[in-house]
Amino acid sequence: MHDIKIIRDNPAAFDAGLALRALEPQSDRLIELDGQRREALGRQQDAETQRNALSKQIGAAKAKGDDDEFNRLRAEVDRLKGVLEEAGEQAAHFSEVLNQHLAAIPNLPFTDVPVGKEECDNQEVRRWGEPVELGFTARDHVDLGETLGQMDFGGAAAMSGARFVSLKGGLARLERALAQFMLDLHTGEHGYTEVSPPYMVRDEAMFGTGQLPKFADDLFRTTDGRWLIPTAEVPLTNLARDAIHPEASLPMRMTAYTPCFRSEAGSAGRDTRGMIRLHQFQKVEMVSLVAPQDSAAELDRMTGCAEKVMQLLELPYRVMMLCTGDMGFSARRTFDLEVWLPSQGCYREISSCSDCGDFQARRMSARYRAEGEKRPAYLHTLNGSGVAVGRALLAVMENYQREDGSIAIPEVLRPYMGGMDRLEASK
RNA sequence: GGAGAGGUGGCCGAGUGGUCGAAGGCGCACGCUUGGAAAGCGUGUAAACGGGGAACCGUUUCGAGGGUUCGAAUCCCUUCCUCUCCGCCA
């Protein structure tokens, strides 16, 4: 959510920011609405001032038993009522329209974000690791999983439809091992506190992180009007909502392992094979809440935490800075981690780390009070996958596959696999 | 699911139609006092929005939304949340 006062102070900069997102200028319209809102608000407040003064006199007259004065003042207040209602309605109307407009505008990109329209304009920042030389034709994770007899798309489709999967045996355990490894890393080494949050939330929470009002189509909704979380970013970030946090409590770093539910409306036909794009997948998420001056450094730190996961798993990856056109609604700067997939011969997204500035904090009124400051200020929010467990699973499968169809277990996961060093076909 | 009781400032807690943004207490901050500390005394201690360079001024806010009224923390309706008892249940 944008601050109308900032737009008012520098409309040209705001429109320039929108242009980076390939959006039309809006400052004129917004400032006009704000002017109408303030004009009406001023009239309303003047009328209220008069009414309050008169009401106090009425109280005094009543106390003195002066009926004439009492009735005279009452009539006077009566006349004010019309003004008050009319101005009040207008103020509320303009305020609502203004807020609707503001709520639908995405965050503006940070100055160093590459300008571009789509994925191919993203900027590679660095690479880590070399794509493995298998020495045989790489099979994809579907092929591998089904050969193992531990990955069942047909069974899942029969009960749930397309874009679901059922894992069993070693693969199910591997998924759990990955999650536990990531959580232990982030809580033990990276200073994140583990949280087990709700998976269903209200409208306000989805508005707070920016999924609503624009992206309802991407979400699943329960019959009683709640939403299934599309990422743990939603509940973790909203833990800070509607509060003023002491500066000493920052940075707040939280991590959670949760399922994520996405309708994948609009992605029909894309990634229909395998575990890349499902309606339900597991993810370890990181969320940081920091003072404004710390958010830029925190994004680098958070991206590093996600990279650490990849390095310990020895999965080759590259870091991309997303271009202005490819960033999510709430982000002002985003680094994606892309993992090498031998079967596709390319890098695919496995983590996305975003600095949202005060964009989400303003939407959910998450503030902090700096030491010695009288006025509270909005804190900055960041979120990142650390990393997507489902995609990590398939990345491990494909990168650690052997010619006989078995899959080696990465060193760091073996303690979580009961010492097992490979996955072989179920009997 | 049934029956009942509640939601007031950072916290506790008074307040059932009229100078109530709200007594009192605790906490916190500053000052006085003290050799120093404690105690004591004094002063201060919410947020949002609007106006102003600022000091400051105005409006709103007693869970939230709506209504009654000249005037609502106080009355009515809706809703959210908490607690107690019963039922059910992992």
CATH number at residue A87: 1.10.287.40
Distance between the alpha carbon (CA) of A96 and the C1' atom of B68, Å: 26
On whether ipTM exceeds 0.95, the answer is no
Shared-domain flag, residues A54 and A163: no
Residue A270 in any domain: the answer is: yes
| Residue with tokens 């094979």, as numbered in its chain | A273
Q: In the prediction, which pLDDT does A247 show?
A: 83
Of all nucleotides, the one whose C1′ comes closest to residue A365's CA is: B48
Cα(A260)–Cα(A383) distance, integer angstroms: 15
Shared-domain flag, residues A371 and A239: yes
Residue A113 in any domain: the answer is: no
Residue A374 in any domain: the answer is: yes
Q: Find the helix or strand (DSSP H, E) in which A378 lies.
A: strand A377-378
**Annotation says A32 is catalytic:** no
- Comparing C-alpha atoms, which of A216, A304, A231, A312 is closest to residue A265? A216
Cα(A426)–Cα(A149) distance, integer angstroms: 6
Hits for CB < 7 Å against strand B across A residues 242-271: 244
Residue A289 in any domain: the answer is: yes
Cα(A132)–Cα(A153) distance, integer angstroms: 27
Shared-domain flag, residues A138 and A84: no
- Comparing C-alpha atoms, which of A210, A21, A241 is closest to residue A102? A210
User: Which bases in strand B are touched by protein, i.e. have an atom under 7 Å from a CB?
Assistant: 18-19, 47-51, 58-60, 70-71
| pLDDT, block means (10 residues), chain A with 427 residues | 89 93 93 90 87 82 75 80 83 88 93 92 96 92 96 95 95 97 98 94 92 92 90 94 84 96 88 94 96 94 98 98 96 97 95 96 87 81 96 97 96 96 88
- Comparing C-alpha atoms, which of A36, A17, A33 is closest to residue A25? A17
A55 CB-to-strand B distance under 7 Å: yes
Total length of chain A? 427
**Annotation says A139 is catalytic:** no
Residue A114 in any domain: the answer is: no
Q: In the prediction, which pLDDT does A62 show?
A: 74
A49 CB-to-strand B distance under 7 Å: yes
Shared-domain flag, residues A334 and A413: yes
- Are A233 and A209 within 8 A, CB to CB? yes
Q: Which of A37, A253, A262, A332 is catalytic?
A: A262
**Annotation says A173 is catalytic:** no
Shared-domain flag, residues A149 and A82: no
Shared-domain flag, residues A255 and A384: yes
Whole-angstrom Cα Rg for chain A = 27
Residue A353 in any domain: the answer is: yes
Residue A112 in any domain: the answer is: no
Shared-domain flag, residues A158 and A246: yes
Shared-domain flag, residues A278 and A146: yes
pTM across the whole model:
0.93
Q: In the prediction, which pLDDT does A367 show?
A: 87
Shared-domain flag, residues A70 and A127: no
CATH number of the domain to which A248 belongs: 3.30.930.10
Cα(A372)–Cα(A364) distance, integer angstroms: 24
Q: What angle do CA A179, A183, A186 make, to 5 degrees?
A: 140
Hits for CB < 7 Å against strand B across A residues 80-99: 81
Q: In the prediction, which pLDDT does A236 show?
A: 95
A41 CB-to-strand B distance under 7 Å: yes
C-alpha distances in Å from residue A419, one per residue of A183, A263, A405, A408: 19, 37, 20, 12
Shared-domain flag, residues A125 and A16: no
- Are A353 and A231 within 8 A, CB to CB? no
Q: Show which of A35, A68, A103 is a domain's final residue.
A: A103
Number of domains making up chain A = 2
**Annotation says A391 is catalytic:** yes
Of all nucleotides, the one whose C1′ comes closest to residue A367's CA is: B47
Q: Containing domain of residue A95, as a range?
A: 4-103
The predicted-structure confidence for A113-163, as pLDDT tens digits, reads as follows 999 998 999 999 999 999 988 899 999 999 999 999 999 999 999 999 999
Residue A109 in any domain: the answer is: no
Q: In the prediction, which pLDDT does A404 show?
A: 94
A48 CB-to-strand B distance under 7 Å: yes
Of all nucleotides, the one whose C1′ comes closest to residue A202's CA is: B80
| Residue with tokens 């807020």, as numbered in its chain | A99
Q: In the prediction, which pLDDT does A227 show?
A: 93
Of all nucleotides, the one whose C1′ comes closest to residue A34's CA is: B50
Shared-domain flag, residues A95 and A175: no
C-alpha distances in Å from residue A366, one per residue of A16, A195, A274, A331: 27, 18, 39, 16
Shared-domain flag, residues A75 and A128: no
Q: In the prediction, which pLDDT does A146 show?
A: 95
Q: Show which of A103, A130, A163 is a domain's final residue.
A: A103
Q: Show which of A71, A103, A135 is a domain's final residue.
A: A103
Cα(A330)–Cα(A321) distance, integer angstroms: 15
